[in-house]
Structure 1
Amino acid sequence: MSERPHFSQPLDDGIHDSLWQWAQETYGLKGVWQPLWLNGLPLGRLNDKWRDLLLRGWPDFLRENSDGLHLDGKNWRELGENLQQTAAGWRDSGLLPGWRNELFDVYSADGQSLFPLERSAFRPLGLMSHAVHLNGLVHRDGEWKFWIGRRSPDKAVAPNRLDNMVGGGIASGETSTNAVLRESEEEAGLNAALLGGMGLQNKIRSLRPVSRGLHNEVLHIFDVVLPATVRPKNRDGEVAEFMLMGVDELLAAMQNCEMMHDAQLVTLDAFLRYGLLDPDHDLSKWLRRIRFEEEA
């Protein structure tokens, strides 16, 4: 058995076309979004609701030009603190529910951390966040299968939906490797020793409108091949159950809209890397186009 998963037979054309239609309908910068410039860098995107709220909250500091809204501070620390206060005001007035009390870092295009900000403020401002996703694969009964988690019915976002084995945001000051190790312990009860063969496979950009604003996130995708005797076990109450699913089961879940959007995207990335997708199909070309690389 190869340690690297591989599928010798690609999916049929009809499945490719269906998955490509889903991707086109789900992802992309649809609608009207105004660029948000922070200290001269185009870091965010605003819909009309959050644009108007920013203009009301910062009447003396915001400049609106033909290229978008410009918000400047003396330095990044001051600007970040002021945005944090703005987000807290939205929370207190009931405009920003779901406050997480967690900080994510805002990065420049070349990967420099600029300032931390409350996680729940990223979508309203269209700022780029970072998250980790871990595909857990097992070779059992002569085929490669994926460990898939079902989210708790108590989750505020996408309750009961299917997810990758592990997933979660990268906290302020945290590396992607540290984040996936932390989330693996919390969500799946997997320690670092069991993840010794884990590796970062890809980074892709997920961009889609959501009810709160714009989901603009870089997905750091890790894969690990687990022994057939290992079974993930949730510890933090965020996963209701884990299931070992073959490709046919996963495709049925995708077609029935049972998977979270980004979890499905991450799984499709694995499908492409392991030979299930035709590299010349439009779906595969799009998956390669959304790969994320920091500017030099």
Structure 2
Amino acid sequence: MGLYDKILACNRWDPEDFVPWLLDGVRIGTLRHAAARALTRWPRWFRVEPQAVHWVNAPRDFAARSALLAEVVETLVAQGEIPYAHGELYPVTPNGRERACCVLDRAAGPFFGIRAFGQHLNGFVRTAHGLEMWVGRRAADRRLYPNRLDNLVGGGLPHGLGLRENLRKECAEEAGMAAALADLAVPVGAVSYCRDSERGLKPDVMYCYDLELPEDFVPRCTDGEVQAFYRMPVDEVVEIVRDSDEFKLNCNLVVIDFLIRHGLIAPDEPDYLALIQGLRSPLPC
């Protein structure tokens, strides 16, 4: 195992297994061939071709488009094409969140291969012995990656919530953090990756934040998503990322980005340039 293996693990997908989902000629998603076939049930709305799926006769109104997709998703969930509905709405966009053409249930995101956005926060402490990082262990009842290590704070970015508002919410829920402390988090860029998952394609963007914490801060989960927290020397975190699969897949990328920016992964690291480039993988939509 190695650090670059973690980049590769988040970027495994074969474009031949998918077709673009287009609205007015613009790619807004990426569908597996099986997902494309499932949409043939709605010939009025989806023209399924060998090389693309076109959303035809789409309402011009944001709310009407969203309502139409909600009906489609409800049927797909009932028929087992999508495992469940999450109840949280994500933007459907060809680029940034601000260019959303409608919204879609979060759990349906991979089925349609839409670009999903999240926020991840690295919480760290400066000690006499060097930097230490807070990491969490996900609860055993999580649908995805139960019992795996996670960033101190990490979560999806729903439509309609601003970046600061959502980060405050996630910090409070996952780490018991006051808004005044959460507001000290420094935005440090974004990480992107594209992965073929069991549920479909995940072309994801994670906005990253660093937060230097006081030595007496102890996180406290309030929503049940985290079962334990650990404060670790960064050298130990590097070993875990490099030599194990303990971390949730995409959290590895957030940690690697932190380590590079803080000079803890140096230019003489094998695959150093590939690591930097791989953290910002191009997305199909």
TM-score by length of 2: 0.89
Q: State the distance in 2 between where 1:197 and 1:256 align.
A: 31
In the other structure, the counterpart of 2:232 is 245
The alignment status of 1:22 with 2:11, answered yes or no, reads no
Go from structure 1 to structure 2 and tell me whether the alpha carbon gap of 1:65 and 1:48 turns closer, same or farther (over 3 Å shift).
Answer: closer
In structure 1, the gaps of 5 or more residues are 1-16
How many Å apart are 1:19 and its aligned residue? 1.1
User: Deviation per CA, 1:81-113, whole angstroms, max 9, x where unpaired?
Assistant: 222111111112233223211111222325412
The alignment status of 1:80 with 2:66, answered yes or no, reads yes
Go from structure 1 to structure 2 and tell me whether the alpha carbon gap of 1:164 and 1:219 turns closer, same or farther (over 3 Å shift).
Answer: same
SS at match of 2:191: strand
In the other structure, the counterpart of 2:89 is 103
SS at match of 2:245: coil
Q: State the distance in 1 between where 2:189 and 2:152 align.
A: 16
Go from structure 1 to structure 2 and tell me whether the alpha carbon gap of 1:163 and 1:138 turns closer, same or farther (over 3 Å shift).
Answer: same
Written as runs of structure 1 = structure 2, the 5 A alignment for 1:192-211 is: 192-211=179-198
How many Å apart are 1:213 and its aligned residue? 0.3
In structure 2, the gaps of 5 or more residues are none
SS at match of 1:158: coil
Q: State the distance in 2 between where 1:182 and 1:251 align.
A: 28
The alignment status of 1:131 with 2:121, answered yes or no, reads no
Written as runs of structure 1 = structure 2, the 5 A alignment for 1:153-168 is: 153-168=140-155
In the other structure, the counterpart of 2:19 is 34
Q: Which runs of 4+ in 1 moved over 6 A?
A: none
| Aligned alpha-carbon RMSD (Å) | 2.2
Q: State the distance in 2 between where 1:93 and 1:68 align.
A: 23
User: Deviation per CA, 1:1-41, whole angstroms, max 9, x where unpaired?
Assistant: xxxxxxxxxxxxxxxx8211332244143351111112321
In the other structure, the counterpart of 1:9 is none
The alignment status of 1:116 with 2:103, answered yes or no, reads yes
Q: State the distance in 1 between where 2:49 and 2:275 align.
A: 32
- Letter in structure 2 aligned against 1:187: E
Contact 1:202 1:291 in 2 (8 A): no
Q: State the distance in 1 between where 2:51 and 2:279 align.
A: 24
Q: State the distance in 2 between where 1:196 and 1:132 align.
A: 14
Written as runs of structure 1 = structure 2, the 5 A alignment for 1:211-222 is: 211-222=198-209
SS at match of 1:20: helix
In the other structure, the counterpart of 2:257 is 269
Q: State the distance in 1 between where 2:33 and 2:94 align.
A: 24
In the other structure, the counterpart of 2:53 is 69
Identical amino acids, percent of aligned pairs: 29
Go from structure 1 to structure 2 and tell me whether the alpha carbon gap of 1:286 and 1:42 turns closer, same or farther (over 3 Å shift).
Answer: farther
In the other structure, the counterpart of 1:94 is 80
The alignment status of 1:52 with 2:41, answered yes or no, reads no
Q: State the distance in 1 between where 2:175 and 2:53 align.
A: 42
Go from structure 1 to structure 2 and tell me whether the alpha carbon gap of 1:292 and 1:172 turns closer, same or farther (over 3 Å shift).
Answer: farther
Larger mean CA deviation between 183-192 and 193-202 belongs to 193-202
- The size of the alignment, in residue pairs, is 277
SS at match of 1:185: helix
SS at match of 1:190: coil
Q: State the distance in 2 between where 1:91 and 1:85 align.
A: 10
